[in-house]
Amino acid sequence: MNESRNVLIKGDISGIQDFIFNVKSDGAAKSLKGRSFFIKILTEITIQYLLDVFQISENQRNDCRISTSGGNFLLKLPKKNNSSQLIDAIQHDLSVRLRFSGINVAVNSVEFDDSNYSACLIKLNKKIRENKLGFYNNITPDTFEKVLKTNTKNNFIEIDDNNNWQKVTHRIKSERFFSIIKSGQIKYSNDLKIDNDSIELVGYKCQFHSNNSNANKVCINNYLEHIFPLNKNETIKEFEDLANDGKGDSKLGVLKMDVDDLGLALENVKNIDEHKIFDYKLKEFFNKKIDSLINSQFNNAIYTVSAGGDDSFFVGHWEKIIKLASHINEDFTKTPYFKNLGLSISAGYIIIKPKFPVIRFAQLAEEALHKAKYDYDKGNICIFGEVISWRMLKKVFDLKRILLRNVDKKSKGLLAKVRQSAIKGIDKDQITLKENWEIAYYLRDIKNESVAKKLMEQIRENIRLSVQVDGNSMQEKKEKRNLRMILPIAARLTELEKR
């Protein structure tokens, strides 16, 4: 094999979730987007830093980009004699300058081999994982001494100050573009600095603009963070406003979603062109398609937080958020490109009070997503701590519609009784006659006898189907439990909407 003339360089940001969501609940809607959008800014600054150090001309820079999504990026750059040293220096600089933020950027490279692109990606991902285990290994004692200077506390306070991030959020809301500018005659801060609505880092500055006066500006509408639910006076809706913006109980729904096994799918791409197409399709769906979906069906009702790529986070009224989850999955599975690759999407969904601590609800949503992805097979949603398939969620919605039409507020207590009776038999191999009769007895309060009869027939059919599931595979175990959970989940959602 001829010696490679190029290198593949990957950057991967770590600590994203804690950085974004470590905010107070009061006023959280005004600071979360600023923090989330900083991940995009940090990605662009790091890319420009690399392109400048490797002396890439302006007209070649777009060709060097392979992908930018999910808090990471991939570049193909001409190899230099000291490529490794240059990248190590950039890694060191970023680690030092971000030391007060709680986030870091792992940067590493491999020689580019066009004949085995997949192997290059696997090797590069391994090196990135190793980077993350030793971010500060090469930082000298002198550097640590600087970290421990008396101004350390002030630096932490400045970066963690929600007022600063609220200013960034305001600029995202009010402006249409941003650009990254390198120090020239005006010297920008090397340490992370949020100054008068702009952000400085490693000698670069991010500025926001109302118009696109040059080609180097990036459109903010390319990112989900530009979607703001607004009050009549054009101020950003707080989470309490969103909780009151829907039917039934005034609670929030929190949704976290991502694509299953995306990393493995990306490692299987055969070449750069294929990788660029993959990256484009992800952006097209998770930015443009979801943007269009929210604006057309959930206008002014969804608060979006996104780390980029397929990793998306939504907050809104609980009933609207669960519907949004279903729509996103349906659109994703119908997208030919993802369907041909056999990709699925999973989600974690929780319902909380509007004053619930932000850092905690982010953790709970992450835990729910983890259950959805790893308790059984892939392509599920976790709701009320139960992992169900998207197909079963549709059955839940169907049953909920029947219950909503036929259970009035005065007799809504029967829903709790029906739900509790159904839950008794969830883990049993058979459902006893007693439990069957209990459910039928409670359903007697439904005034329309024919509806009550059909409802009981549907419940018994689900129970019968669950008993017939005979096998110990993860998919069969999930199917059996899902069939028995349709009624409890539908009843609980109906209870919330009847309040």
Q: What is the pLDDT of residues 208-228, one digit of tens each?
A: 998 877 667 899 999 999 999
Residues in the chain: 499
Q: What is the DSSP letter of 235?
A: P
Q: Is it the case that residue 262 has pLDDT exceeding 80?
A: yes
**Pick from 70, 95, 79: nearest CA to 16:** 70
459 — pLDDT class (breaks 50, 70, 90): confident
Structure token pair of residue 348: 């974690």
Q: Is it the case that residue 155 has pLDDT exceeding 60?
A: no
Residue 476 confidence (pLDDT): 79
**Pick from 182, 226, 187: nearest CA to 40:** 226
Q: Which amino acid is at 150?
A: T
Q: Is it the case that residue 441 has pLDDT exceeding 70?
A: no
Q: Is it the case that residue 236 has pLDDT exceeding 90?
A: yes
Mind giving me the DSSP string for 220-242?
GGGSGGG---B-TTSPBPPHHHH
Mark residue 211 as left, alpha or beta (left: phi above 0; alpha: psi -120 to 50; beta: remaining): beta
Q: What distance in Å separates the CA atoms of residue 346 and residue 311, rounded to the nearest whole number? A: 11
428 — pLDDT class (breaks 50, 70, 90): low
Residue 161 confidence (pLDDT): 78
Q: Is it the case that residue 472 has pLDDT exceeding 80?
A: no
Residue 186 confidence (pLDDT): 74
Strand 198-201 and strand 193-195: the pairing is: antiparallel
Query: 334 or 475: which carries more pLDDT confidence?
Result: 334
Q: What distance in Å separates the CA atoms of residue 162 and residue 30, rounded to the nearest whole number? A: 9
153 — pLDDT class (breaks 50, 70, 90): very low
Q: Is it the case that residue 327 has pLDDT exceeding 80?
A: yes
Mark residue 342 as left, alpha or beta (left: phi above 0; alpha: psi -120 to 50; beta: remaining): left
Q: Which residue has the tokens 């024919």?
A: 450
Q: Is it the case that residue 146 has pLDDT exceeding 90?
A: no
Distance of CA 307 to the CA centre of its chain: 6
442 — pLDDT class (breaks 50, 70, 90): low
Residue 150 confidence (pLDDT): 44
**Domains (ranges, CATH) in the chain?**
6-158 (3.30.70.270), 223-383 (3.30.70.270), 403-499 (no CATH)
Q: Is it the case that residue 385 has pLDDT exceeding 70?
A: yes
Q: What distance in Å separates the CA atoms of residue 366 and residue 256, rounded to the nearest whole number? A: 7
Strands (E) across 50-192 are located at: 65-69, 72-78, 104-111, 177-182
* Cβ-based neighbours of 181, under 8 Å, separated by 6 or more: 188, 204, 205, 206, 207
Structure token pair of residue 388: 């169900």
Q: Is it the case that residue 445 has pLDDT exceeding 70?
A: no
The 10 Å CB-count burial string (b at 16+, else e) for 105-143 is bbbbbbbbbeeebeebbebbbeebeebeeebeeeeeeee
Q: Is it the case that residue 430 has pLDDT exceeding 70?
A: no
Which range has the worst mean pLDDT, 34-48, 75-89, 177-191, 258-272? 177-191
Strand 345-352 and strand 380-383: the pairing is: parallel
Residue 1 confidence (pLDDT): 40
Rounded mean pLDDT of 272-298? 94
- How do residues 30-66 score in pLDDT, each as one tens digit? 999 999 999 999 999 999 999 999 999 999 999 999 9
Residue 388 confidence (pLDDT): 94
188 — pLDDT class (breaks 50, 70, 90): confident
Helix axes 449-468, 433-442, angle to 10 degrees: 150
pTM of the model: 0.89
Q: Is it the case that residue 78 has pLDDT exceeding 80?
A: yes
Which range has the worst mean pLDDT, 111-115, 241-245, 261-265, 456-460? 456-460
Q: Which residue has the tokens 């701590």?
A: 385
Stated as kind and residue range, the H or E segment containing 317 is strand 311-317
Rounded mean pLDDT of 75-89? 94
Mean pLDDT across the chain: 86
**Pick from 351, 339, 416, 415: nearest CA to 379:** 339
> How many Cβ atoms from other residues are within 10 Å of residue 318's Cβ?
26
Structure token pair of residue 195: 């100054």
> How many Cβ atoms from other residues are within 10 Å of residue 277's Cβ?
13
Which range has the worst mean pLDDT, 118-132, 187-201, 248-262, 267-281? 187-201
